[in-house]
Amino acid sequence: MRVLSPVPKKRARIEIIPLIDIMFFLLASFMMVSLSQTHMKGIRVNLPAAVGPPPSGVKDFVSIKVLEGNAVFFDNQYVADDQVLPRLFQLHRANKDIKISISAQPMAMYGDVIGVLDKVRSVGITKVGYQIRAAGGVTQAAPAPPPPPGP
């Protein structure tokens, strides 16, 4: 005859979470010990410094600024209005792939900037960039639209 025990029978369980904690602790400990024992030993070598190619006399980039009153500056050097086109021809002749960056003061006339752009395009320069800056928080009221033409 079989007698049952009043104490419930429990099955043995292996808890894995404490085992994982112990493994992480051991891993971190071994990593810290191995890093503290590493001493960097090497031979000092005097390496040559990198030297780029010598600068060529050909310009590949020109910054053009248009100021108020149609004052034009090539790389911060003033150029008279009648000398802008010959200067552009000279630059294009020296380097066919020259790059131009056009910027303007906020008070420069739109027509003056477009006139410089037309001269750049007429010479044959196709690589043109525009420097545009955001208005630094300045808010201006939009101009009123012109009145409609009367009959």
DSSP β-bridge partners for residue 128: 100
All residues at 6 or more sequence positions from 60 whose CB lies less than 8 Å from its CB, including other chains: 95, 97, 98, 99
Q: Which domain holds residue 94?
A: 61-130
- Between vectors from CA 69 to CA 63 and to CA 72, what angle results, nearest 5°? 20
pLDDT at 141: 46
What is the amino acid identity at position 17?
A: I
- What total number of domains does the chain contain? 1
Q: Are 101 and 129 in contact (CB under 8 A)?
A: yes
Instruction: Enter the pTM of the model.
Output: 0.52
pLDDT at 149: 61
> Mean pLDDT, 10 residues at a time, over the chain (151 residues)?
76 84 93 78 80 74 90 91 91 90 89 91 91 61 52 52
* Collapsed DSSP state (helix, strand, coil) of residue 145: coil
Q: Are 91 and 62 in contact (CB under 8 A)?
A: yes
11 inside domain? no
142 inside domain? no
pLDDT at 138: 47
Give the domain CATH number at 111: 3.30.420.270
* Six-digit token string for 14: 């292996």
